[in-house]
Amino acid sequence: MTSAISPDVAILGYGPVGALLANLLGQAGLSVAVHERGTVIYPLPRAVHFDGEVMRIFQSVRLAEKIAAMARPSSKGMHFVNADGQTLMVRRGIDGPGPHGWAGNWYFHQPELEEILRVGVARFPNVTVHLGREIADVGELDARYIVGCDGARSLVRRAIGSRQDDLGLHQPWLVVDLLCNPDSPRVKALPDHTVQLCDPARPMTVVHVGGARHRWEIMLMPGDDPERLADPDIFWPMMARWVGPDDARIERAAVYTFHSVVQEGWRRGKLLLAGDSCHQTPPFLGQGMCAGMRDAGNLAWKLAAVLREGAPESLLDTYESERLPHVRAFIELAVKLGAVLQETDPAAAAARDARFAAGAQMFDFPQPQLGPGCRTDAPPPVGTIFPQPRLADGRLMDEVIGQRFAIAGDAEMLAGLETSAALLPGVAADWLARHGSRAAILRPDRYVFALADNRADLETRLRSAMNWK
């Protein structure tokens, strides 16, 4: 639907982050214009992993079931293994639904995910998509707000003038995506968990993406020619311990540099950033795309509150103040994991292996607290995401809440409470008891705004949460 009236939001970039943001804003009833220079979805693999929190965001736009049918859940985790096969560290997997109501780890083919997201956008007549549109200057975009989901070379970021904070990792790797023959004995023997091969002679990563798709990431070493490393005659011998040309065909082979940077300055006036335009992480934790999806989830409800519910524009300033410390925590952990994997000095690698000799160390995804912003000034679990239990009627909690604030608490605390927030009496009682509280106020993105111990505290904090109404 075309309108002469300026849209509420213009999105520059229609990759996964831009497409998810368009779904979230379209569902909220905002008028949205998406501008993308490409005319078709990029057909080759790129991102391959998202987590349970991101699946929960997909659920919020009613696309989780379609995405679950396309993606592969994995409970096997990620194993850091040295050259002798000793397991050094394991990122734990989750059997069955995790705290978000979904499996904790999913592997997928990015073009298929983007197709589902774009079909989802087509549900909303208030969202228009302009493909093949090259934007040379943000002044060409007439909208109340402009969000740059336009990647590492972001036009919107240049217009904002953001300052880059370099976290120190810039390492070229060869990425090889294969379509493997499922009948090959060698393919059948490939691990189902992700392997981080901590071999100082040649660090590698091996990922079963799903079905026939497997990925190898191969670190470039001194003396490697980046122009030649993508030659099959060069990389097949490096992978010979697992597969060879008789076991698979090449879908893509290209050298990429893994970066660890964050930008300071995600908003200037009506200009905002999301995804790779404001942060880049090495892939050792599988959180690159996830971070951008969390950006979309945080920003979307705030834009809707400002544009539709009378919230002050200053609410948008909490987007960066909350998200930047959160994404930095993930990037810093990824850099630390990368240091374990990328050690190429034999003596230092031997010392590393000796530190782990007592047994594999287990670790989980971090659950960092949001930075200061739209929440009470309290320690965690305030500012962390609330779990999503299944309710007595079988529905997942978020299905009942919709896109609004909610209060989970004991029935006595919630009885007779007059509010537009969703009331969830008796929900997550075990979680509340563990945290010594009787009620939790949840934001539309399910992050905890405040805890309350009595009715007076609850009413005071609820007014603070929704003071623009």
Tens-digit pLDDT profile for residues 12-33:
999 999 999 999 999 999 999 9
**In angstroms, rounded to a whole number, what is the distance separating the alpha carbons of residues 281 and 332?**
9
Per the CB < 8 A criterion, the answer to whether 195 and 79 are in contact is yes
Residue 138: band (very low, low, confident or very high) from pLDDT cuts 50, 70, 90: very high
Res 342 pLDDT > 70: yes
Q: Positive or negative, the Cα torsion across 194, 198, 202, 203? A: positive
pLDDT in tens, 117-132: 999 999 999 999 999 9
74-101 tens-digit pLDDT: 999 999 999 999 999 999 988 889 999 9
Region for 246 from its dihedrals, namely left if φ exceeds 0, alpha if ψ lies in -120 to 50, beta otherwise: alpha
Beta-strand pair 271-273/145-148: parallel
In this predicted structure, the answer to whether residue 4 has a pLDDT above a threshold of 90 is no
DSSP tag of 438 = S
Question: What integer pLDDT is reported at residue 214 of this predicted model?
Answer: 98
* CB crowding 436-461: b at 16 or more within 10 Å, else e: ebbbbbbbbbbbbbbbbeebebbeeb
Exposure string for 11-20, b = 16+ CB within 10 A, e = fewer: bbbbbbbbbb
Confirm if 166 and 261 have CB atoms less than 8 A apart. yes
CA distances from 439 to 160, 401, 418 (A): 40, 16, 15
Torsion sign (Cα): 324, 377, 447, 194: positive
Average pLDDT for 340-345 = 97
Number of H helices, E strands in the chain: 15, 22
Average pLDDT score over residue span 289-304: 98
Indicate if the pLDDT at residue 2 is higher than 80: no
The pLDDT of residue 208 is 97
Is residue 3 very low, low, confident or very high in pLDDT (cuts 50, 70, 90)? Answer: very low
- State the burial class of residue 134 (Cβ atoms within 10 Å of its Cβ: 0-12, 13-18, 19+): exposed
Residue 55 scores a pLDDT above 70: yes
Say yes or no to pLDDT of 304 above 90: yes
Residue 203, pLDDT above cutoff 70: yes
Query: Cα–chain-centroid distance for residue 327?
Result: 9
Torsional class of 446: left (φ above 0), alpha (ψ -120 to 50), beta (otherwise): left
Q: Which band of pLDDT confidence, cut at 50, 70 and 90, is reported for residue 359?
A: confident
**Measured in Å, how far apart are the chain's first and last C-alpha atoms?**
30
Q: Does position 70 have pLDDT exceeding 80, yes or no?
A: yes
Mean pLDDT of 251-266: 97
Please report which confidence band the pLDDT of residue 1 belongs to, taking 50, 70 and 90 as the band edges.
very low
CB-based contacts of 104, cutoff 8 Å, min separation 6: 51, 52, 75, 93, 94, 98, 365
**Mean of pLDDT over the chain:** 96
What does the alpha-carbon distance between residue 469 and residue 456 come to, in Å, rounded to a whole number? Answer: 19
* DSSP secondary structure letters along 172-189: EEEEEEEEE-TT-HHHHT
Q: Residue holding tokens 């007439």?
A: 142
* The residue to which tokens 């036009």 are assigned: 155
pLDDT band at residue 469 using 50, 70 and 90 as cut-offs: low
Least confident residue range of 57-61, 254-258, 464-468: 464-468
Cis check: omega of the bond before 381, within 30 degrees of 0: yes
Pairwise CA distance, residues 58 & 257, whole Å: 29
**Spatial separation of the C-alpha atoms in residues 371 and 304, rounded to whole Å:** 21
Asked whether the predicted pLDDT for residue 233 surpasses 60, the reply is yes
Q: What is the DSSP string of 305-319?
A: HHHHS---GGGGHHH
At residue 94, the pLDDT reads: 86
How far is Cα 6 from Cα 195, in angstroms, rounded to an integer?
49
Q: Which two tokens stand for residue 59?
A: 């659920």
Q: Are 334 and 281 in contact (CB under 8 A)?
A: yes
Closest CA to 24 of 68, 70, 58: 58
Q: What is the pLDDT of residue 467?
A: 78
Kindly calculate the radius of gyration of the chain based on its CA atoms and give it in whole angstroms: 23
Q: What is the mean pLDDT of residues 343-354?
A: 97
* Averaged pLDDT for residues 137-151: 97
Q: Dihedrals φ, ψ of 139, to 5°?
A: -65, -15
What is the rounded distance in angstroms from the CA atom of residue 104 to the CA atom of residue 205? 20
pTM over 0.95: yes
Both tokens of residue 206?
A: 């091996």
Question: Helix, strand, or coil here: 238?
Answer: helix
Two tokens, residue 361: 């160390």
* pLDDT for res 175: 98
